[in-house]
Structure 1
């Protein structure tokens, strides 16, 4: 029976692969099939407001400057040309058949622009680049057979998603959500790992440098301290400036960029120091990404391989922690499933950010606490070690999340062998939390808490303002949320760092879904969660929120400013699930079949994840 199942899986896999290739060949290469191969030079060119310096090289005279490709009068699948902006910021606008497409010619020497229509002429306008020099030449009308590997991966993701949703429907929702989560997080996470351009995560260059230091044995990174870096690291880190003007916009340009990265010789090293704004973070949140970099170095992969492997190892630890969290939590599985697969959360899971460890272990720690609370299990030494270990990892990742230690107060007398033992353990865990907070804070203070130079900052004056006028500070917090509510709610759900976001409508749908699941996913076990427990969870969330905002108000915001600057929606991610968990109920006005809700959350999360990778695909890989 087992042998037949394996044969069946292999057969299905082969059928899916063959079908994928057929779609790639006969659907996405249809222009090649119908119009044939083409490689034609476009030579009839006129210029406007451009000073010709030499053949193919120009100076832009004003914002109306343009190059017009004339008398084409045929089908153009792809327009390709050589270019050089000489390291300057030159945005371009391509116009044809009444259509306009924005692009740029920064950091790329060969442009490829998808047209896919019959055109008479194409105009390339230069935007906001007066007095800058550019080189554009060798314009070609191209049509060729192409296997776009990123597109092949997208087709496979569609088929996987259809298979998972179909299986869930076939089983009538009687599925293991943690297994579906693992399938989703690894497949879509791998897609993100490959597709998100390098250094496009929030401050990814800073976190990557920190990870690379740890992988090189430099556990405590100090300012000015040199280590062995590959020659070319400086050029690589400069790519963080491409987030506003991407270094590629099509699959052809992606291939050019990838070839340039692979061509750089990273096997030769030099002693150097590269600064990092993540200097004040402990090494803890970088352990897993650093291990990926170390594996790459040991296996002598190309340098760029170490970057992608570091991303992938962060994804693996996130997948494993949340898989186990969904598996063990006795209630709120569906809510946790959706929260852990939000577009922003999944985007972060494949970055070098400290948020990867923070988010994963926050979900896991809360799941452990709720499990032991609901099961009324007496806490053993291993249980306490697991719980405090998670709390320490969270606090060492970001010190402002230290209130997670307050979760120990949720436990009741049934969780302990005696009343005396209960308070000894609780006070010991809280004391450990205080010590961890102080240790991590002092570590950051020694290395310099304020890494970003912001005018008007005075930590002392800001703290005095908070202490002596607490009501004014509460007003500041309230105004921050009111004035930036869309940014904060979107920043925790639909934002994809420097690539943009999935839109406000998607954001509204997500929040409606989250509250809907929280309200209607009823569970008999929720009666064990009394008002005292809900109060502790809410208090922990509020203290964490206030502490995080206070840290930014003190170190990043001018004195007495009316809103907290620098507070982003992604900082809310570890708090979303415990906050929404408070809405769990035993009974509700309307009763819903929990298996039906399983179908809804699988279809919803799968569709959301595919929408996010499709968004990235359309930006960079068409």
Structure 2
């Protein structure tokens, strides 16, 4: 009798499982259909109803719908697939050299593809392929309308200014792009496809780094997912911009920090602090102000460290500070070739010191008003088109999730305050550096600050502000609904951003 009852229960459980599976598939198809509606609705709103845009949108909509339907439970895999799929769309649809600073970044990648790791101070040594001129002459032209489907010439030319503009970044930032260019030449691809292959390899590196960060972190995986799939991040990664490398390494570093933060008492070892310090030093040569992340372990509760590990935190800070100063001295040896008129760092510092109270007020106002730069996260091209409305919606979405998403671990006030101080320090450092190096002497407005500069500390926001309930207080259905929101809403933002780009050129 008991055996028969057990068999009946197994059949009921199997039936319930199958029913739940069918409901989940139906829900996924509903979300996919909604994605298609968002696609064509956005195209209509942005006035992209011409034949070519409709054809591309139809193909992209089918890809997106299938992506939504077949996304799995592993968040890091979903992130990788989303970044690659939408990154490829951005990569192929965005015209040649039509992303921020792509001209200079392409020059550096071509320079590295020749095996040149450091930018020379001698103009005669700044040699890259003359195909740079070919590509530059086709700027703003699309994949379907250009004259680059020719073989690489292999002839060298002198190109100095673009290369000098990248001296603040180490060669490692350009390895993915250079590998793409080099492989394209190795298999005798045309100039056009070698160019696009460099974009694609940069995108793949970014996708791998974001997926790795999501897999590593035990906390706020969903927030890492949202920040890592932000449209501007993927858009930049689908170009030659070295920010893809910098943002990727920053996300991995923060994921490693959250891993340290979640450890039990006396579990943080010396080797882990050494590894974290090494990552911060790598950040120094890619996104300089973010070296301040090296301070974060100092705000982890002391009880979580092994005996010698906490002392190593401060040794790591000193080492990172020394390395940062050495790197600054190295890269400032070659002046930036495109400095605006009236810019002089020494005179700007003298101006700030001359009336410190008034200038502190001025900088405070700029820091407050500078928050609006986050809207530039939805300005694409050479910041030539965008949507402030999408920017506002995204900030509202990310802010809401960061504050109210269910918490996984209660943090000490010191840890939260430390994260706030570090994030504020990075924000001030970015703004101050642009005032010193990109703003005319005596100006009351800081020039050159862009929203994408701050993508790196988005994962820190929930650590500072999260006040959500514990996951233990939620029902399984609520947890599932939270998961759907954080996975699907970023896809819809990507859809709208892609249609905005599509409308601009097709």
In the TM superposition, 1:60-139 aligns within 5 A as: none
Name the structure 1 match of 2:349.
463
Name the structure 2 match of 1:256.
145
Point out where structure 2 has 5 or more consecutive residues left out of the alignment. 1-46
Q: Deviations along 1:529-581, whole A, 9 cap, x unmatched?
A: 11100111111111111112121111211222112111111111112221343
Name the structure 1 match of 2:171.
283
Name the structure 1 match of 2:401.
517
Tell me, yes or no, if structure 1 residue 540 matches structure 2 residue 427: no
Report the alpha carbon displacement of residue 374 of structure 1 after superposing the two structures with TM.
1.0
Q: Following the alignment from structure 2 to structure 1, what is the Cα–Cα distance between the partners of residues 193 and 270? A: 41
- Contact 1:280/1:447 (<8 A) preserved: no
Report the alpha carbon displacement of residue 502 of structure 1 after superposing the two structures with TM.
4.2
- Contact 1:326/1:333 (<8 A) preserved: yes
Report the alpha carbon displacement of residue 381 of structure 1 after superposing the two structures with TM.
5.6
Q: Pick from 341, 364, 379 the counterpart of residue 478 of structure 1.
A: 364
Secondary structure, in 3 states, of the residue corresponding to 1:446?
A: coil
Name the structure 2 match of 1:90.
none
Name the structure 2 match of 1:29.
none
Report the alpha carbon displacement of residue 415 of structure 1 after superposing the two structures with TM.
3.8
Q: Deviations along 1:194-250, whole A, 9 cap, x unmatched?
A: 11111111110001111111111111112413455333422322444x4xxxx45xx
Closer/same/farther in 2, CA of residues 334 and 428 from structure 1, 3 Å limit:
same
- Contact 2:99/2:239 (<8 A) preserved: yes
Tell me, yes or no, if structure 1 residue 357 matches structure 2 residue 237: no
Point out where structure 1 has 5 or more consecutive residues left out of the alignment. 1-101, 103-112, 117-147, 249-253
| Bigger shift: residues 286-295 or 188-197 | 286-295
**TM-score, normalized by length of structure 2?**
0.82
Name the structure 1 match of 2:338.
452
Q: Following the alignment from structure 2 to structure 1, what is the Cα–Cα distance between the partners of residues 137 and 190? A: 18
Report the alpha carbon displacement of residue 115 of structure 1 after superposing the two structures with TM.
7.7
Q: Deviations along 1:496-525, whole A, 9 cap, x unmatched?
A: 132644422212211111111112211241
Q: Following the alignment from structure 2 to structure 1, what is the Cα–Cα distance between the partners of residues 149 and 187? A: 16
| Bigger shift: residues 538-547 or 473-482 | 473-482
User: Which fold has the larger relative contact order, with Cα–Cα distance below 8 Å and residues 6 or more apart in sequence?
Assistant: 2
Structure that is richer in helix per residue: 2
In the TM superposition, 1:537-576 aligns within 5 A as: 537-576=419-458
Name the structure 1 match of 2:267.
378
Q: Following the alignment from structure 1 to structure 2, what is the Cα–Cα distance between the partners of residues 347 and 388? A: 29
Q: Following the alignment from structure 1 to structure 2, what is the Cα–Cα distance between the partners of residues 442 and 304? A: 37
Q: Following the alignment from structure 2 to structure 1, what is the Cα–Cα distance between the partners of residues 281 and 243? A: 14
Closer/same/farther in 2, CA of residues 151 and 308 from structure 1, 3 Å limit:
farther
Secondary structure, in 3 states, of the residue corresponding to 1:162?
A: helix
**TM-score, normalized by length of structure 1?**
0.67
Closer/same/farther in 2, CA of residues 289 and 167 from structure 1, 3 Å limit:
closer
Report the alpha carbon displacement of residue 432 of structure 1 after superposing the two structures with TM.
1.8
Q: Deviations along 1:90-114, whole A, 9 cap, x unmatched?
A: xxxxxxxxxxxx9xxxxxxxxxx99
In the TM superposition, 1:155-554 aligns within 5 A as: 155-166=58-69, 175-223=73-121, 224-226=123-125, 229-240=128-139, 242=140, 247=141, 254-257=143-146, 260-263=147-150, 265-276=151-162, 277-376=165-264, 378-380=267-269, 383-418=272-307, 421-448=308-335, 450-467=336-353, 469-483=355-369, 485-486=371-372, 488-491=373-376, 493-498=377-382, 500-525=384-409, 527=410, 529-554=411-436
- Contact 2:254/2:459 (<8 A) preserved: no
- Contact 2:130/2:157 (<8 A) preserved: no
Closer/same/farther in 2, CA of residues 383 and 608 from structure 1, 3 Å limit:
same
Secondary structure, in 3 states, of the residue corresponding to 1:229?
A: strand
Closer/same/farther in 2, CA of residues 559 and 341 from structure 1, 3 Å limit:
same
Structure that is richer in strand per residue: 1
The alignment of Structure 1 onto Structure 2 pairs a total of residues equal to 456
Q: Deviations along 1:88-146, whole A, 9 cap, x unmatched?
A: xxxxxxxxxxxxxx9xxxxxxxxxx9988xxxxxxxxxxxxxxxxxxxxxxxxxxxxxx
- Contact 2:380/2:501 (<8 A) preserved: no
Report the alpha carbon displacement of residue 354 of structure 1 after superposing the two structures with TM.
2.2
- Contact 1:344/1:494 (<8 A) preserved: yes
